[in-house]
Amino acid sequence: MPEPTVPPTPPVPLAALLAREDLALRQIAGPRDPGLAVHWAHTSEMADPYPYLLGGELLLTAGVHVPGAAGPDGGAPGRAAPPGDYFDVYVSRIVAAGGAALGFGLAPVHDTVPRALVTACDTHGLPLLEVPPQTTFSGVARAVWQLMAQARHAELRRVTEAQQSLAAAASRPDPVPSVLRQLARRVGGRAVLYGPEGTEIATAGTEPTGEVRGALARLARVVRPDSRPAPASATDTTGGSRLAAYALGPGRGFVLGIATARREPGDDTVASVAAVLLSLLTGEQRSGTEAARASALVRLLLGAPPQSVAPLLGGERWQVVHGRPEGQAPDAMAAAALGAALGSPLVDLGEDVVRVLVPGDGEPLAQPGWTLGVGDAATPADWPAADTRAGRALARARATRAPLVRHGARPALADLVPPDEAEAHARTLLAPLGPTLADTLRGWLSLHGSWDRTAVALGVHRNTVRQRIARCAALLGTDLDDPDVRMELWFALRQR
């Protein structure tokens, strides 16, 4: 016979239900353990309720199924009393199905609870409640759900407070021991951090027996990755203690072990939060790459030039990628996903664009749901210019509805002109134009004079583009339809 499955709902102590004065329930048989609880209420008049129970129920019945009318002896004048084993079989089936308790209503069929039913409940260890005539079964069910809602609210509040305390502990100067202390206090047990070799790195909480301590260490080995695939978590029970082990991060070998005398519904959530925090903390301590990136950031903040920290990031040349998701503004989760897809954790989330710094020897590919602009590989001194070029590539990709556009970095005739002379020529030629007009002219020329695509790239109306280009022609005193003029202006705009 399979073990009954108790529904995953907050249990209601049977004592709390008996304490409700509005119900006036009275326990007349069965164990009176204060730890007894019910998970819901169910009404049934079936002679064999086993097929209809899931486990953990308070089964309510008016005794309609009982053969013979009610009476103190289980029968009524003129009618045969039910066989002595009827209630024995009935109660045993409820217990086999995992029923938590039986409520017997005194109206409208029976005046008293049959003595044989009381005896059977005492024999099989099933709590038996007498339900008075004024109390309806629906009223009992409603009380169960009310107490269940109160328990759920209290559990959610406990879990929320535990999460806050764990987060605060993670920010202390001794984050790992602090998180373990908070975890042990919140779940009422022992918390252990095991290292990759299986040794106890840090512990907190009540010291368990040697048997429990050894069993927890063995359970930690179950989730520790080695030459075989391992589960992310595992549970066990030893010496009356409930054990759980959680692998901290993929492939690093750290394990969180927990031993408690009892397990509350929210303890798994609390333990999962602690496991995530400890994964981050142990990962920061062990990952040389993360430490190098943190060092690079600190050096930049302290005034070091970008070229001096580039080796810490893993290379001398990097590409800047600008990306926008289709149909929505980017969020932190989308930005992290794009960085992971491009193979770089160096991600910046802006208001409407995500910027990713990727190694220069890579080849960023188009990503589903994204429009990307890729700058050319640049040294740290040229990162700001590479960022600008990536932004222009993204604008062109959006205008042409291409999933990815790369900035062209091949040598050109412009490279034959000394940079200082080219810059002076551009400054003189474009002096009449302000930044807005110059950017509009650049976008319009790059898109071969298309009003609509330039409007899309700049995020303005096509009439605004026409007005700005007309204004440029007037200020420059030239014919923008002349290809030579366009070529010279394009050369100058590239130097800005």
Minimal CA–CA distance to 49: which of 108, 100, 11? 100
pLDDT greater than 60 at residue 348: yes
Q: What is the pLDDT of residues 253-285, one digit of tens each?
A: 789 999 998 877 778 888 888 888 888 877 644
Alpha carbons within 13 A on the beta-carbon side of 127 = 28
**What are 298-318's pLDDT values in tens digits?**
777 777 887 777 777 766 788
472, burial (CB in 10 Å: exposed 0-12, middle 13-18, buried 19+): buried
For residue 417, pLDDT over 80 is answered with: no
Residue 98 confidence (pLDDT) above 90: yes
Q: Please report which confidence band the pLDDT of residue 8 belongs to, taking 50, 70 and 90 as the band edges.
A: low
Name the residue type at position 169: A
Q: Please choose, from the candidates 100, 110, 90, the residue with its C-alpha nearest in 3D space to the C-alpha of residue 48.
A: 90
Greater pLDDT, 156 or 9: 156
Tell me what pLDDT residue 288 has: 52
Look up residue 243 and give its two tokens: 């054990």
CA distance 440 to 463: 12
Is 287 within 8 Å of 296 (Cβ atoms)?
A: no
Q: What is the pTM of this model?
A: 0.45
pLDDT at 412: 54
pLDDT category at 71 given cuts 50, 70, 90 is very low
Token pair 């299986």 in the structure block, residue = 198
